C-alpha cells in the first residue's frame, strides 16, 4: 500500500516502509531539513511538525514529534514543516521571534515556531498558560526561554482570533501572515483523497504493533525503521469514547490528549486536565495512546494507574474473536501480561461511577512536569459522612507492575477516615509493595513516597480531618 499525504503544499506518494520515521522521510527523502534530529526520544521538540486531519468537516492540526512517528501516521493527512510556514517571507511568528531575540543558533527555533503555529491553528483555549503549554515540549539550549515566552505573549496580544469559526480563524491567520494562503485549499485536497485508506493493516505475521509509537520508537527505533512487516494499529472510530449501558468504552487508540479533552471523561473525572498535564508534553500526548500505555506495561504508567482504580476491563480482539480481561489481573510480572502476541487491545471499559465519589491522583517525579513518575498513585473513594463505603488505591513505581493495592483497599473499606486509619493503611500498603532501587530513587525512598502520597490523597479530599498533619 502506498502512503499518500500532503506535505506543506505538495502531494506526496511513497512506497517507503510505513515504519520509517516521519522525521527521516521529510529530511532524507523530501529534503526538508528544518525539522531537526535532537534527542530522538520525544524530549526536545526540535523535530516538531504539524499533522492536520479532517474531522467533522474541519482540519484539526496537532503538533507531534516526527522522530517518534511512523510515516504511516501521515497517510491521508496534511503534514506541515517549517518550510511550509514561510514560503516567501518570514511568518509573523518568525518576525516577532527575531524582534524579541528569541532565536540564537536556531536549532530549536523551527520546532518552537511550528508548535506555536499549531496552537494558534487548533487550540480551543487561547490563554497565555495554554500557549506556554503548547511549547512545553520544546527545549532551547542557548536563547533562554524568557525571550521565547515574551515573543509568544506579544503575538497573543496582536492576534485576536477568539470566537471565530475554524474557517474564519484560518482566513484570519492567513491575513496575519501566520500561515501561507495555500492552507485555505488543503481541506478540499484532503477531501479529494480517495476514501481514506484503511489505517489498520492486519498482516498475520506482523512483528510489531505500533499505536502512537511514543514508547516503541524510543526503545526500539533503530530496529523498527528497518522492519518491513509491521502491523500499524492506528484506527480510531468516530465514537472513540462512548457510554453504553452505563459503561464507559474507550477505544485503545484514543490519544492521551483526546482522552483529557473528552467531555465524557471530564464528567467522570473533573480533574483529568490537571492529571494529563503531568503526562509528557503536548506533542507526546497528541500521539501516546491509552492502549499503548496499558500494553507498554510500565510500572509507572499513568493512565493505567487511573484505569486500575476504575476497575477497568480490557477487550482484546484476535481475528474475529473477542476476549475480556480485568486490568487488575492483567499484569503477571515485569513487562509480562495475559495477552497472546497476535491479540490486539481494541478497547477498555469501566462502569461509570455514581454517588458521592472522588478520584485523587498523585505523582512524584524528578521534575514536576514532563517527567515519568518515581512513584504515582490514584485513589477512587466513595464516602458517606466520612465513612469509606468503597475505595480502590493503585500504586506505580513500587513493584515490577502497576499495582492495585487490594489489601490496603479492603482494609480501608468501612472505616471512618482518620489519621490513625490512614497510618494503618500505609503500613499495609508497605507490605503489599516490592520497590527496587533504581535511577528514580532507592527502594526506601519509594516506600516513604507512597506512604506520604496515600496521606496526601486523604488530606486533599478531607483537609478538615487532617488539620494537625503536615506532609
Ligand atoms: C518524552 C516522553 C514522555 C512520556 N511521559 C509519560 C508519562 O508522563 N506517563 C506515562 O505513563 N507514560 C509516558 N511516556 C510513555 C508513553 O508515551 C506512554 O506509555 C504511551 O501511552 C504509550 O502509547 P503509544 O501509543 O505511544 O504506545 P506504542 O509506543 O505505540 O506501543 C507501546 C507498546 O504497546 C503495544 N501496543 C500499543 N497499542 C496496542 C494495542 N492496541 N494492542 C496491542 N498492543 C499494543 C506496542 O506493540 C508496544 O509494545 C512518555 C514517553 C515519552 C517518549
Ligand atoms: S528529536 Fe527530540 S523530540 Fe524528536
Ligand atoms: S536558539 Fe539555539 S537551541 Fe534554541
95-144 confidence digits (pLDDT tens): 999 999 999 999 999 999 999 999 999 998 889 999 999 999 999 999 88
Of the bound ligands, which one is closest to the alpha carbon of residue 36?
Answer: 2
For residue 213, tell me if it sits in a domain: no
* Cα distance between residue 447 and residue 430, in whole Å: 6
Residue 229 domain-assigned? no
- Please state the pTM of the whole predicted model: 0.95
Establish if 220 belongs to a structural domain: no
**Among the three residues 125, 157, 192, which one is the final residue of a domain in this structure?**
192
Place of cell 471565530: 164
Ligand 1 atom, smallest distance to 218 CA: 53
345 lines ligand 1 (CB under 6 A): yes
> Using CA atoms, how far apart are residues 64 and 28, in angstroms rounded to an integer?
18
Task: Give the single-character DSSP code of 365.
Answer: -
For 199-220, write each residue's pLDDT tens digit.
444 455 566 788 999 999 999 9
Q: Is residue 14 part of a domain?
A: yes
Q: Whose CA is nearest to atom 4 of ligand 3?
A: 140
CATH number at residue 8: 3.10.20.30
Q: Which of 65, 72, 209 to mutate to test the pocket of ligand 1 (most atoms within 8 A of CB)?
A: 209
Overall domain count for the chain: 2
Ligand 1: atom nearest CA of 302 is 11
Q: Please check whether residues 169 and 317 belong to one and the same domain.
A: no
Do 183 and 288 fall into the same domain? no
Determine if ligand 1 sits within 6 Å of the CB of residue 435. no
Contact 115, 34 (CB under 8 A): no
CATH value at residue 303: 3.30.465.10
State the distance from the centre of ligand 1 to the C-alpha of 385, rounded, in angstroms: 40
What integer pLDDT is reported at residue 201 of this predicted model? 46
Q: Is 147 in the pocket of ligand 3 (CB under 6 A)?
A: no
Domain that holds residue 67: 3-192
Please tell me whether residues 181 and 283 are part of one structural domain: no
Give pLDDT tens digits for 437-460: 888 889 999 999 999 999 999 999
Task: Look at residues 157, 192, 227 and tell me which one is the last residue of a structural domain.
Answer: 192
Same domain, 179 and 291: no
Longest Cα–Cα distance in the chain: 69
Regarding whether 252 and 144 lie in a shared domain, the answer is no
Amino acid at each position: 500500500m502506498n502512503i499518500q499525504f500532503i506535505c506543506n503544499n505538495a502531494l506526496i506518494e511513497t512506497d517507503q516502509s510505513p515504519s520509517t520515521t516521519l522525521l527521516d522521510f521529510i529530511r532524507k527523502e523530501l529534503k526538508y531539513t528544518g525539522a531537526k534530529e535532537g534527542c530522538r526520544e520525544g524530549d526536545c521538540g526540535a523535530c516538531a511538525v504539524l499533522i492536520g486531519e479532517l474531522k467533522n468537516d474541519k482540519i484539526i492540526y496537532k503538533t507531534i514529534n516526527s522522530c517518534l512517528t511512523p510515516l504511516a501516521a501521515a497517510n491521508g493527512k496534511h503534514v506541515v514543516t517549517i518550510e511550509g510556514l514561510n514560503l516567501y517571507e518570514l511568518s509573523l511568528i518568525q518576525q516577532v521571534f527575531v524582534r524579541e531575540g528569541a532565536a540564537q543558533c536556531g536549532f530549536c527555533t523551527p520546532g518552537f515556531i511550528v508548535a506555536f503555529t499549531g496552537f494558534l491553528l487548533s487550540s480551543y483555549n487561547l490563554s497565555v498558560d495554554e500557549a506556554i503549554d503548547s511549547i512545553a515540549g520544546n527545549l532551547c539550549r542557548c536563547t533562554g526561554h524568557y525571550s521565547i515566552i515574551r515573543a509568544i505573549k506579544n503575538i497573543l496580544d496582536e492576534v485576536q482570533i477568539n470566537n471565530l469559526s475554524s474557517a474564519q480563524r484560518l482566513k484570519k491567520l492567513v491575513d496575519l501572515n501566520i500561515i501561507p494562503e495555500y492552507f485555505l485549499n488543503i481541506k478540499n485536497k484532503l477531501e479529494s483523497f480517495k476514501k481514506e485508506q484503511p489505517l489498520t493493516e492486519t498482516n498475520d505475521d506482523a512483528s510489531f504493533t505500533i499505536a502512537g509509537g511514543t514508547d516503541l520508537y524510543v526503545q526500539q527505533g533503530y530496529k523498527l525503521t528497518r522492519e518491513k512487516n509491521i502491523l500499524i494499529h492506528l484506527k480510531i472510530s468516530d465514537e472513540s469514547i462512548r457510554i453504553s449501558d452505563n459503561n464507559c468504552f474507550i477505544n485503545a487508540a484514543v490519544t492521551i490528549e483526546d482522552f483529557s479533552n473528552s467531555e465524557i471523561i471530564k464528567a467522570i473525572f473533573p480533574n483529568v486536565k490537571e492529571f494529563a498535564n503531568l503526562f509528557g508534553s503536548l506533542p507526546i500526548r497528541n500521539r501516546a495512546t491509552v492502549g499503548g500505555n496499558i500494553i507498554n506495561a510500565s510500572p509507572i504508567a499513568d493512565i493505567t494507574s487511573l484505569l486500575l482504580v476504575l476497575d477497568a476491563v480490557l477487550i482484546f480482539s484476535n481475528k474475529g474473536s473477542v476476549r475480556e480481561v480485568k486490568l487488575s489481573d492483567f499484569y503477571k510480572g515485569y513487562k509480562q501480561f495475559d495477552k497472546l502476541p497476535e491479540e490486539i487491545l481494541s478497547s477498555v471499559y469501566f462502569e461509570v461511577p455514581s454517588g458521592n465519589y472522588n478520584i485523587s491522583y498523585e505523582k512524584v517525579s524528578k521534575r514536576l512536569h514532563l517527567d515519568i513518575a518515581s512513584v504515582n498513585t490514584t485513589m477512587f473513594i466513595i464516602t458517606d459522612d466520612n465513612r469509606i463505603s468503597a475505595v480502590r488505591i493503585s500504586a506505580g513505581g513500587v513493584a515490577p507492575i502497576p499495582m492495585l493495592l487490594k489489601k490496603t483497599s479492603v482494609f480501608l473499606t468501612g472505616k471512618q477516615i482518620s489519621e490513625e486509619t490512614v497510618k494503618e493503611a500505609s503500613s499495609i500498603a508497605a507490605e503489599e509493595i516490592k520497590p527496587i532501587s533504581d535511577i528514580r530513587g532507592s527502594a526506601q525512598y519509594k516506600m516513604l513516597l507512597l506512604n506520604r502520597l496515600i496521606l496526601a490523597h486523604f488530606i486533599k479530599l478531607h483537609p478538615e480531618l487532617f488539620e494537625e498533619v503536615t506532609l
